[in-house]
């Protein structure tokens, strides 16, 4: 038996055991086996995950996390899957998904409290109806609020750090901490939550009063800019690379002569070179090949190292030790 098959058997056996334990705590609709990751990511790429957990409440999130950690079962947390590239063979572990299952929003004057699973676009529409300004930049970002806070997502000169007052984060020890904006340690595409290994549960936003027509006009203007300049008609994970200091990744890639470069069904977008898109049926292997070609070419041509913004998820995650 190959080492690969040994690993596969190990994960399959453990997944069966974990499924039984989860179903003792969660409802049947909250736990699925062998869920196709290509259906849960904006890249539309990825094989099956051993387990998919979609908790229906914040309490269920904590219960699932406690079980996973107690048995040292490999897992990762995702939102809308808008910046992820999973292996073609899938993910040997559990995916804990906080998305359209946790979307409650409460608004009091200019203060907003929202659960982490709500899509930024849906939240932006609710804030527009309440004539709250300051969130327009996030209206077209294809992710959840929790994921956006986790990575300090931003666009068009706005970032989550500009509007987040606090976030409730489930820490690895099982405790929920309310962290202020300063304590969240925001920087470019980064927050303290990444190092802490926490999970965003709820977020408090502080916005400004505005007029409906002005907020709508700004949102529409940003939407027009996105649709005219970005390949939104294609499956992708958004910007493939982080912005290198002093440069724009898309321009470096274009100037290096890589516009439209294809490998299989993966392609450097002719519309915006900062995006690698799935032209239908692209594999993770093809996307990774293009990422490596782009990085090497830009490095050799300009001496600039491009760092991927898309998170590349291995099939076999590191297996944690069972707590003593």
Domains of the chain: 3-100 (3.30.43.10), 105-216 (3.30.465.10), 239-308 (3.90.78.10)
Average pLDDT over residues 164-187: 95
The residues assigned a catalytic role are 189, 239, 309
The CB density around residue 267, as the number of other CB atoms within 10 Å, is 23
pTM for the full predicted model:
0.88
Alpha helices in the chain (DSSP H): 3-25, 58-70, 120-129, 145-151, 192-196, 212-229, 249-255, 284-302
- Two tokens at 67? 């079980």
Report the C-alpha gap between 70 and 59 in whole angstroms: 17
pLDDT at 319: 63
State pLDDT tens for residues 234-269: 999 999 999 999 999 999 999 999 999 999 999 999
pLDDT at 275: 97
State pLDDT tens for residues 86-133: 999 999 999 999 988 899 999 999 999 999 999 999 999 999 999 999
User: pLDDT band for position 186 (50/70/90)?
Assistant: very high
> CA end-to-end span of the chain, whole Å?
31
State pLDDT tens for residues 6-43: 567 777 888 999 999 999 999 999 999 999 999 999 99
pLDDT at 4: 47
């Amino acid at each position: 038996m190959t080492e690969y098959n040994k690993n596969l058997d190990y994960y399959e056996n453990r997944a069966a055991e974990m499924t039984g334990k989860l179903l003792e705590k969660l409802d049947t609709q909250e736990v699925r086996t062998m869920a196709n990751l290509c259906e849960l990511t904006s890249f539309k790429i990825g094989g099956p995950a051993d387990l998919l957990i979609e908790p229906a409440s914040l309490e269920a999130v904590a219960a699932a996390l406690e079980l996973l950690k107690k048995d040292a079962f490999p897992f990762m947390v995702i939102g809308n899957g808008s910046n992820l590239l999973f292996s073609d063979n899938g993910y040997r572990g559990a995916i804990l998904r906080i998305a359209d299952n946790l979307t409650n929003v409460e608004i009091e004057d200019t203060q907003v409290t929202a659960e982490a699973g709500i899509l930024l676009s849906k939240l932006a529409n609710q804030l527009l109806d309440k004539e709250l300004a300051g969130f327009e930049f996030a209206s077209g970002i294809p992710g959840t609020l929790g994921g956006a806070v986790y990575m300090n997502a931003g666009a068009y000169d706005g970032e989550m750090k500009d509007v987040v007052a606090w976030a409730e984060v489930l820490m690895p020890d099982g405790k929920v901490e309310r962290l202020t904006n300063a304590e969240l340690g925001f920087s470019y595409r980064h927050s303290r939550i990444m190092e802490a290994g926490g999970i965003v549960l709820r977020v408090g936003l502080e916005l400004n009063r505005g007029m409906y027509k002005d907020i709508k006009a700004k949102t529409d203007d940003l939407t027009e800019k996105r649709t005219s300049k970005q390949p939104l008609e294609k499956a992708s994970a958004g910007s493939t690379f982080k912005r290198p200091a002093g440069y724009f990744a898309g321009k470096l890639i274009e100037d290096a002569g890589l516009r439209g470069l294809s490998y299989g069904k993966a392609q450097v977008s002719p519309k915006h070179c900062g995006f690698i898109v799935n032209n239908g049926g692209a594999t993770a292997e093809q996307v990774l090949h293009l990422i490596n070609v782009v990085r090497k070419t830009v490095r050799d041509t300009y001496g600039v190292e491009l760092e991927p913004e898309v998170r590349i998820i291995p099939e076999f995650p590191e297996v944690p030790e069972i707590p003593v």
